[in-house]
Amino acid sequence: MNLTVQRVTQTKRSTTGRLSIDGNPEFVTLEPPKLPNPPPDGNGFVCILAGTYRLTIRWSNRFARPVPHVEAVPGRSAIEMHFANWARDTDGCTLVGKDFDDQPDYISQSDASFNALMVKLYVGSTCVNPGADQQHQLWEVGSVQYIDPQGVSQ
């Protein structure tokens, strides 16, 4: 399974994007800004470098449940895809939602969108250790590619 996050817009607090699964647009995303030194009124984090990364589902201590993990991000750890609506709710992770709202730095219906994403990911994934308890299971999903808008470099 291949996911793509096509980044669309940026403010001083966030980067918005569209998430496709195997080429089919499914959700919107919200990440920290792409600024090398975010302003003090931002959340203090930046989005990950554009590129392609391995995607797994494994336990999140932060959320006490399995979530998608973007693996081997240079200089980063515990990069997850998770539910939340506001840019201030991400510490470098990718938030998933249904749509952009009139409010900047916000996405709608994140809980429902995240649950729908998990169903799709589990269907297309393989558990590499099915006998393990949920906190130790590892699901291989495939890859996620983050693409910046043309003319924007990191």
User: What is the rounded average pLDDT for all residues in the chain?
Assistant: 92
Q: What is the Cα Rg of the chain in Å?
A: 15
pLDDT of residue 153: 46
Residue 113 CB-density burial (10 A; 0-12 exposed, 13-18 middle, 19+ buried):
buried
- Tell me the C-alpha to C-alpha distance, in Å, between residue 90 and each of 48, 63, 70, 83, 95: 12, 13, 14, 9, 7
Q: What is the pLDDT of residues 23-81, one digit of tens each?
A: 999 999 999 988 766 666 666 688 899 999 999 999 999 999 999 999 999 888 899 99
